[in-house]
């Protein structure tokens, strides 16, 4: 079980709980504004871009090369950018806060 907090670009905070799946699916289910996940989670579209808090970065781990390449030239990229479809829900990420990039 993990509690995840999303913060949208208009500063609305939503905390949700999940046990399985990925963060993009969780956001879509909870209608988090700015996370669309149009490609269904295959790292093809960058419509699920989030910024991780620096202190949570080590809990989530590094993006794959493909994901890095998708993000590097994104207009809203930061050093803590991730595509949320590539982050699996697990106990290890309990309590993380994610800022929606778009």
Within 13 Å and on the Cβ side, how many CA atoms surround 27? 32
Nearer residue to another protein within complex by CB, 27 or 93: 27
Give the span between the Cα atoms of 36 and 44, in whole angstroms: 12
H or E stretch including 68? Answer: helix 65-72
Nearer residue to another protein within complex by CB, 37 or 98: 37
Nearer residue to another protein within complex by CB, 45 or 97: 45
Shortest Å, Cβ 96 to another protein? 20
Q: Where along the sequence are the contacts to another protein (CB under 8 A)?
A: 21, 25, 28-29, 31, 36, 38-46, 66, 69-70, 72-75
């Amino acid at each position: 079980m993990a509690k995840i907090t999303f913060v949208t670009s208009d500063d609305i905070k939503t905390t949700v709980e999940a046990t399985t799946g990925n963060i993009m699916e969780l956001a879509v289910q909870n209608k988090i504004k700015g996370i669309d996940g149009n490609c269904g989670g295959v790292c093809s579209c960058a419509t699920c871009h989030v910024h991780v808090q620096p202190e949570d970065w080590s809990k989530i781990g590094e993006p794959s090369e493909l994901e890095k390449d998708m993000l590097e030239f994104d207009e809203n990229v930061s050093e803590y950018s991730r595509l949320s479809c590539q982050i699996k829900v697990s106990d290890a990420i309990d309590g993380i806060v994610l800022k929606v990039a778009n």
